[in-house]
């Protein structure tokens, strides 16, 4: 079973942690071979971001958002209980848990801590569909939850970012909570790096489905377009490390400190959402879709906001890069766990 699940992933998805490490190494090599590369790339900017970096950030978001079936939102009422459960885990439990873990594991590293908080607020709208499919979850429910998360990110990400990074730490009197970021700064990055790809993705689906049909769009166009999102991510990482990699990797043990709260987050949120859905009487397929959408995160958005607000060489940006490095093996492990729980908690007739 282990081999069969892993083999269902594309080569790009299956070895994504390896590709990320290689992209980091390539970026470091380019930066050392051409010391003037960083300043040259940084001469032209989109808002506060180097234009070559901005192109990569926009591209890695566009294919993801072209997959979202925004029309599924019309079925919201028919999924009331499950939508309420998903919204609670995605927009209350998940962000609060990541906030707590970030402060618990990184009380002395505010930049990495902020990067983790940005990840916790960026709800999954991309690879969750792959994990849910591998775990035999409900594709229809997962697609609906992804569309809903996309809408909520547009509406609330900047507000929640300001609350969790600036306001709540100050209210709680947490040490080191003098770290501030404005809601406007986050909103600008969200408008550029989420708003533009959302519009482009929605228009792409609307126009091409009308001209070529839903089946062609899903089975042909998206099959070709989808993998380029990860290529966009790898391109962005190469440029990030070419420009500032030596500074980012000055403390390699920090990567481990970022990884530990991420691993804890994946396990706790997934199990909590899974067992809660099971207790509420959801089928296995519904439970899996709810659990995976709760556990996954939109690292592309977190990286884009971190780079846009804090800069390419920031600790916040590094935390975003570590995210997908950890997510792939962690979520594969959760696929196995979900299938094991299905055999233990549901009758064979229901599976």
SS3 assignment, position 70: helix
Asked if 169 contacts 179 with a C-beta cutoff of 8 angstroms, the reply is yes
Q: How confident is the model at residue 351 (pLDDT cuts 50, 70, 90)?
A: very low
* Domain limits, the chain: 79-213+247-343
CATH topology for 79-213+247-343 is Na+/H+ antiporter like fold (1.20.1530)
Q: How confident is the model at residue 58 (pLDDT cuts 50, 70, 90)?
A: confident
Mean pLDDT value across the chain: 84
Q: Is the dihedral of CA 109, 111, 112, 117 positive or negative?
A: positive
Q: How confident is the model at residue 289 (pLDDT cuts 50, 70, 90)?
A: very high
Q: What's the confidence (pLDDT) of residue 176? A: 58
Cα 178 to Cα 284: distance, rounded to the nearest angstrom: 45
Chain segment 182-196, per-residue pLDDT in tens: 778 888 888 888 888
Q: State phi, psi for 72 to the nearest 5 degrees.
A: -65, -20
Q: What's the confidence (pLDDT) of residue 245? A: 63
Chain segment 107-134, per-residue pLDDT in tens: 988 899 999 999 999 988 767 878 888 8
Chain segment 87-111, per-residue pLDDT in tens: 999 999 999 999 999 999 999 888 9
Question: What global pTM score does this model have?
Answer: 0.84
Q: Is the pLDDT of residue 220 over 70?
A: yes
Q: What size, in residues, is the chain?
A: 351
Q: What's the confidence (pLDDT) of residue 150? A: 84
Picking from 260, 264, 290, 274, the residue whose alpha carbon sits closest to that of residue 337 is 274
Which of 23-32, 244-253, 338-347 is most confident? 338-347
Q: What's the confidence (pLDDT) of residue 341? A: 94
Chain segment 293-336, per-residue pLDDT in tens: 999 888 888 888 888 888 877 888 888 888 887 887 888 889 99
Alpha helices by DSSP H, 68-93: 80-88
Cα 276 to Cα 129: distance, rounded to the nearest angstrom: 21
Q: What's the confidence (pLDDT) of residue 2? A: 46
Q: Tell which wins on pLDDT, 5 or 256.
A: 256
Asked if 132 contacts 293 with a C-beta cutoff of 8 angstroms, the reply is yes
Q: What's the confidence (pLDDT) of residue 249? A: 63
Q: Is the pLDDT of residue 349 over 60?
A: no
Alpha helices by DSSP H, 123-195: 128-134, 139-162, 168-172, 183-190
Q: Is the dihedral of CA 218, 233, 260, 175 positive or negative?
A: negative
């Amino acid at each position: 079973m282990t081999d069969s699940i892993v083999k269902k992933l594309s080569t790009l998805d299956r070895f994504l942690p390896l590709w990320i490490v290689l992209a980091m190494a390539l970026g470091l090599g380019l930066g050392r071979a051409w010391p003037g590369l960083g300043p040259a790339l940084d001469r032209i900017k989109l808002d506060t971001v180097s234009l070559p970096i901005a192109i990569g950030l926009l591209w890695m978001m566009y294919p993801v958002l072209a997959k979202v079936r925004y029309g599924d939102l019309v079925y919201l009422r028919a999924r009331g209980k499950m939508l309420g459960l998903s919204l609670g885990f995605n927009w209350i439990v998940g962000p609060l848990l990541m906030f707590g873990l970030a402060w618990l594991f990184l009380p002395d590293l505010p930049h990495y801590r902020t990067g983790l908080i940005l990840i916790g607020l960026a709800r999954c709208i991309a690879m969750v569909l792959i994990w849910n499919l591998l775990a035999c979850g409900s594709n229809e429910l997962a697609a609906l939850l992804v569309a809903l998360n996309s809408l909520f990110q547009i509406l609330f990400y900047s507000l929640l970012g300001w609350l969790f990074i600036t306001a709540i730490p100050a209210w709680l009197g947490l040490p080191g909570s003098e770290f501030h970021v404005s809601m406007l700064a986050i909103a600008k990055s969200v408008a550029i790096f989420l708003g533009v790809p959302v519009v482009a993705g929605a228009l792409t689906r609307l126009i091409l489905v009308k001209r070529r049909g839903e089946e062609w769009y899903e089975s042909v166009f998206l099959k070709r377009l989808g993998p380029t999102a990860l290529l966009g991510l790898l391109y962005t990482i190469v440029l990030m490390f070419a420009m500032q990699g030596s500074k980012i990797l000055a403390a390699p043990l920090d990567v481990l400190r970022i990884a530990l709260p991420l691993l804890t987050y994946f396990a706790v949120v997934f199990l909590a959402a899974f067992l809660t859905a099971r207790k509420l009487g959801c089928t296995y397929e519904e439970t899996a879709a709810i659990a995976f959408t709760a556990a996954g995160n939109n690292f592309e958005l977190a990286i884009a906001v971190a780079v846009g607000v804090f800069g390419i060489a920031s600790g916040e940006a590094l935390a975003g890069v570590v995210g997908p490095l950890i997510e792939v093996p962690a979520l594969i492990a959760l696929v196995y766990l979900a299938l094991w729980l299905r055999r233990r908690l549901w009758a064979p007739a229901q599976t």
